[in-house]
Amino acid sequence: MEKLDDIDIQILKELQRNAKLTVKELADKVHLSASPTFERQKRLEREGYIENYVAVVNPKRVGNTIIALCNIKLKQHTSNFSRAFMEAVRGIEEVTECYNTSGDYDFMMKIYVRDMEHYQDFVLNKLGKIDSIGSLHSIFVIGEVKNAHKVPIATEDD
């Protein structure tokens, strides 16, 4: 992979702010012409710096009023239990993020649900079917302080 220069970094930052920019709009923002801007954007995609383009949907507008953080302990620390858990979680729509963590818990998940009844159903009928789970601990979000959907881009100067 090539090293990112200042223009590559600007392109990544601009696209994180607004992925709907046309090539011309992006080129204007990074002070290049459209053709080299397009080539750089395609290279950033090819090299895996840009993984995907998505719309950020407002969860409340689509009926998801509760965010829960769910910490999971597995029954045993084996590759089979971990693999089974991870495969199952990838197929559960309510789970939007899942991380393998250190500390008291093995995994942490971010979950969106309509209401407490939906959460109870989720725990009993979705998580409850994952045999590798030993225990879970739920934390409910009272208020969202920051949800940027942006990744900081480190430079050599940082």
Low-confidence ranges of the chain (pLDDT < 50): none
Give residue 3's identity as a one-letter amino acid code: K
Give residue 43's identity as a one-letter amino acid code: R
Quickly list DSSP for 42-110.
HHHHHTTS---------TGGGT--EEEEEEEEESS--HHHHHHHHHHHHT-TTEEEEEE-SSS-SEEEE
Q: What's the confidence (pLDDT) of residue 1?
A: 52
Q: Give pLDDT tens digits for 46-92.
A: 999 999 999 999 999 999 999 999 999 999 999 999 999 999 999 99
Sign of CA dihedral 143, 105, 119, 112: positive
Q: What's the confidence (pLDDT) of residue 158?
A: 55
Which sequence spans correspond to the domains of the chain?
A: 6-46, 60-140
Give residue 60's identity as a one-letter amino acid code: K
Return the CATH class of domain 60-140: alpha beta
- What lies within 8 Å, CB to CB, of 155 at 6+ separation is 4, 9
Q: What's the confidence (pLDDT) of residue 154?
A: 78
pTM of the model: 0.86
Residue with tokens 């045999």: 131
Compute φ and ψ for 75, nearest 5 degrees. Answer: -65, -40
Report whether CATH 1.10.10.10 matches the domain 6-46. Answer: yes
Task: Classify 4 as helix, strand or coil.
Answer: coil
Q: What's the confidence (pLDDT) of residue 157?
A: 62
Would you say how long the chain is, in residues?
Answer: 158
